[in-house]
């Protein structure tokens, strides 16, 4: 798919007068700073002793973004999986999270590359590099996207970060496979 063939993300941003909540396309949307994102990612890591904190963060993110994706695709009549992937890439960037690129997307899985990561950059500045990936939020977004692409439950796919910027890789890479 070439850039000119891709659908353009439509962003309608507003601050709700009564609640003062920020919305994007009529969905409540919180823009994240890397300081906050690294702190709740570290909290998920710390929760490993009592629960699988990273898995909880992945699942919560998948559920949240799945809702956003489903509504956007329905509202804009986007049914083609390639077009849906292009919209997710643009929404990820517009939210300040980084730059994603979906490749080889099929009902069996696919691959996602992240060239820039707001979370990795924040983590490295705050705590330095580490050997384990930290992109639970991105993994959740990818799981929610694949669920939405094929109208199946989010846990129908397993998302694994196999290379990570925080661990010294030039880009983060995720593999997606059917569960």
Question: Tens digit of pLDDT for each residue in 34-87?
Answer: 777 888 888 888 888 888 889 999 999 999 999 999 999 999 999 999 999 999
Question: Tens digit of pLDDT for each residue in 137-172?
Answer: 999 999 999 999 999 999 999 999 999 999 999 999
CATH number at residue 112: 3.30.1380.20
Q: Is residue 10 part of a domain?
A: no
**SS3 annotation, the chain:** CCHHHCCCCCCCEEECCCCCCEEECCEECCCCCHHHHHHHHHHHHHHHHCCCHHHHHHHHHHHHHHHHHHHHHHHCCCCCHHHHHHHHHHHHHHCCCEEEEEEEEECCEEEEEEEEEHHHHHHHHHHCCCCCCCCHHHHHHHHHHHHHHHCCCHHHEEEEEEECHHHCCCCEEEEEEEC
Q: Which domain holds residue 99?
A: 33-178
Q: Is residue 19 part of a domain?
A: no
Q: Is residue 25 part of a domain?
A: no
Give residue 1's pLDDT: 44
Q: Is residue 78 part of a domain?
A: yes
Question: The whole model's pTM is what?
Answer: 0.90
């Amino acid at each position: 798919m070439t850039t000119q063939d891709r659908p353009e993300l439509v962003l309608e941003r507003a601050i709700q007068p009564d609640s003062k909540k920020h919305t994007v396309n009529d969905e409540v949307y919180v823009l994240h700073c890397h300081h906050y994102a690294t702190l709740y990612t570290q909290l998920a890591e710390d929760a490993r002793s009592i629960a699988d904190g990273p898995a909880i963060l992945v699942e919560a993110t998948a559920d949240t973004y799945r809702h956003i994706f489903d509504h956007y695709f329905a509202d804009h009549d986007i049914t083609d999986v390639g077009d849906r992937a292009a919209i997710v890439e643009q929404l990820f960037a517009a939210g300040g999270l980084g730059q994603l690129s979906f490749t080889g997307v099929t009902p069996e899985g696919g691959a996602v590359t992240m060239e820039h990561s707001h979370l990795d950059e924040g983590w490295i500045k705050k705590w330095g590099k580490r050997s384990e990936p930290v992109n639970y939020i991105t993994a959740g977004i990818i799981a929610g996207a694949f669920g939405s692409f094929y109208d199946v439950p989010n846990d129908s796919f397993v998302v694994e970060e196999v290379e990570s910027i925080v661990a010294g890789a030039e880009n983060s890479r995720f593999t997606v496979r059917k569960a």
